[in-house]
A and B are shown apart, each in its own frame.
Chain A
Amino acid sequence: MRFHFKLLVPAVALAACVSAAAQTPDYKNVGRPPTAQEVQALDIAIGTDGKELPPGSGNAKTGGIVFAQKCAACHGENQEGSAQAPALVGGKDTLTTLHPKMTVGSYWPFATTVFDYIRRAMPRFQEGSLKVDEVYSLTAFILYRNSIIKEDDVIDAATLPKIKMPNRDGFVPQNTDEIHDWKKRGCKLGHCP
């Protein structure tokens, strides 16, 4: 019996493979190619290399004007924050304290995220209302007030991805290739060391 059973297993396994292969459909005509406009409307995510950044530019001077009109009501005139919105400046050297102040300047690892998030989600309740140059200008203004760039520096698709944020090296694992393997990283108990 044992002998026969052993013979049977590969035969059954093979049959299953063949039938599975024969049955895998090609899902013909399910979904259609998107139009260029459809992709453009949705393709707003900016990666850290900035290659999706749109044409346009801005600097901190113009950004300050836009900020006073459209952002200061919640984030405060000096970006100090309020009950409605977080502070955007300050917090240097606080990350090792019990009450760290985690702002764009002290915490955010990538400057491209500032542009992406303003364009995507700001101002709150009027999302999507800012022009591209306004987004570049506001990004420049916040970076300038955090002493990361100068007031006249032009921020655009070429310059923004090159900015190294103060806390860029504050995240582990630093190499994003190492993020993939949870076990290799020594994560335990639902926590990563």
Chain B
Amino acid sequence: MKPKDSGRRSFLKNGAALAGLAVGGVQTARARAVPDEKSGAPAKDLHSYGERSRFETSERLGAMGLYDPAPPGYHRDFGWRNPIQDSVGYITPASLHFVIAHGYEPPDIDPAEHHLLIHGLVDKPLIFSMDDLKRFPSVTRAHFLECNANGAPAGPTGQYRVSPNATAQDTHGFTSCSLWTGVPLSILLKHVGVKPEAKWIIGEGSEKGKHTKSIPIEKAMDDVLIAYGQNGEALRPQQGYPIRLLVPGWEGINNVKWLRKIKLVEEPYMGMWESTKYPSLRPDGLSRWFQFQMGPRTVITRPSGGQKLSGPGFYEISGLAWSGGGLVKSIEVSTDNGKTWREAEIQSPVYPKAHVRFGFAWDWNGEETILQSRCTDEVGERQPTVVELAKFWKVEPDFFIKTGTIPGHFNAIQPWKVNPDGSVQNAISF
């Protein structure tokens, strides 16, 4: 061992002891700054790359159980939800961004070996290294990313979503918002020269399932990014390192991670996920496919399910609003079970197709009540009630909990019930 390393270890050990980390004998998984004397593993140098305080314990939560039991070496869970109830501001830390990859693990990609091929109906097919992509102009934009099934009251996550004990993580954990940095896809497409007959792009990932998704050329030329950065650093492996498609405002499935190829074609490719798993089957037997755009939605994150108010008095109601339709134009809050609605205060920058933090001053009188929020976006769409959604689907509201399918795009208004003892519960009803 080099003397330098020894010094660092000793410093960290002493520092940790001073901070009270190593006192008590029980070393938790979170006290990772303390070197492991038995294995001799080097301590993490938190001066070089930081970690949050050991008192911050908010974590993603996996709950879908695609494989039961899971094969050796694979996680049991299908997706991990963002602990949105603990969020502050409008940006989700990359380490807490929700993860869904249809059960596949992130491939271990060396960016020096990774390439992006653009071919098909183009004038000159080209292959780009990661260095090539960084020679193009970059943009940085805030965008939310949301799973089509976020908050679905039926299907694999349905039981968590409708439980009276559900937290905001259970009900709305499949959305997140980041500052994404990358090359506008339009620049790359103009560079290779798109032929007039090209109407769709198909993007393909590098993971074991090689996820593929068809996207109309209009969207590809509009605001899609080849993203390599997230919140000021490289993408995390779970988010598609080294590059992913970022398709603002559209269903999460479009945002192909570990992107290796884009092909320009005349017709949608009708891959397995897009043609057999993501269409919405309605009671008349017909399925709506390629629904793309996520509707307007809000959720109050504080106070929300599982939290507890300490007693009557002042509370700032805090929440997030977003819409795939563009800018959020207005956000309203009701503290009396929907009888009256008042405009909330916008408390973060407002970007199109991004989370927006809102706040609302509230004096709780200690009585039982229901808190709700809703928003309207720049194309005039307002977040619906469960009843409005059911009318649009031409079903009775209880269809959403009785169906054996996954009712996607379930962006109904979320009610939180505040009990006289200060406890907060999920009050969604059908």
Contact = CB atoms under 8 A, between A and B. Distances in A.
Contacts of A179: 216, 268, 289-290
A99 interface: yes
B132 A48 contact: no
Interface string A47-60: 11100000000000
Interface in A62-77: none
Given A116-B271, A171-B279, A187-B291, A127 B204 contact: no
B381 A190 contact: yes
Contact of B210 (A44, A170, A191): A44
B218 A189 contact: no
Interface stretch (B89-97, B166-174, B385-393, B422-430): B385-393
Given A116-B272, A125-B71, A171 B286 contact: yes
Interface residues of A, number: 51
A101 B146 CA distance: 27
B267 A39 contact: no
A27 interface: yes
A98 to B, nearest CB: 6
Contacts of A102: 276, 281, 405
A176 B267 contact: yes
Interface in A5-34: 27, 30-34
A115 to B, nearest CB: 11
Nearest to B135: A30
Interface string B276-305: 100111011111111111111100000000
A21 to B, nearest CB: 14
B194 to A, nearest CB: 15
B68 interface: yes
Contacts of A188: 381, 392
Contacts of B275: 108-110, 113, 171
B315 to A, nearest CB: 30
Interface stretch (B49-57, B119-127, B353-361): B119-127
Interface stretch (B39-47, B258-266, B338-346): B258-266
B13 to A, nearest CB: 42
Interface string A169-188: 01110001101101000011
A189 B124 contact: no
Nearest to B127: A34
A189 B388 contact: yes
Contacts of B199: 177, 180
B152 to A, nearest CB: 13
Contacts of A109: 270, 275-276
Q: Which of A27, A38, A39, A45 has the most CB of B within 10 A?
A: A45
Nearest to B203: A45
A128 B388 CA distance: 46
Contacts of B132: 30-31
A112 interface: yes
Nearest to B391: A189
Given A182-B292, A191-B409, A34 B125 contact: yes
Contacts of B118: 31
B11 interface: no
B119 A34 contact: yes
Given A33-B125, A102-B276, A108-B275, A171 B117 contact: no
A45 B126 contact: no
A190 B127 contact: no
A118 B274 CA distance: 15
A39 to B, nearest CB: 6
B117 A48 contact: no
A32 B119 CA distance: 12
Contacts of A38: 115, 117, 127
A61 interface: no
A110 to B, nearest CB: 5
Interface in B369-421: 381-384, 388-389, 392-393, 399, 402-405, 409, 411
Contact of A172 (B135, B263, B287, B323): B287
A99 B388 CA distance: 23
A83 interface: yes
Contacts of B405: 100, 102
Interface string A80-117: 00011000000000011011101000011110110011
B430 to A, nearest CB: 14
B191 interface: yes
Contacts of A158: none
A112 B267 CA distance: 13
A34 B208 contact: no
Nearest to B292: A182
A102 B403 CA distance: 13
Interface of B: 67-68, 71, 115, 117-119, 124-128, 132, 135-136, 187, 191-192, 199, 202, 204, 208-210, 212, 216, 218, 260-261, 263, 265, 267-272, 275-276, 279-281, 283-297, 323-325, 381-384, 388-389, 392-393, 399, 402-405, 409, 411
Interface of A: 27, 30-34, 38-39, 42-49, 83-84, 95-96, 98-100, 102, 107-110, 112-113, 116-117, 120-121, 125, 127, 170-172, 176-177, 179-180, 182, 187-193
Given A31-B132, A34-B126, 4 more contacts: A30-B136, A34-B119, A45-B204, A47-B269
26 contacts: A27-B136, A33-B127, A34-B119, A34-B125, A38-B127, A43-B261, A45-B271, A47-B267, A84-B67, A98-B399, A98-B404, A102-B276, A120-B209, A170-B285, A171-B275, A171-B279, A172-B288, A179-B290, A180-B199, A180-B216, A182-B292, A189-B295, A189-B296, A190-B293, A190-B297, A190-B409
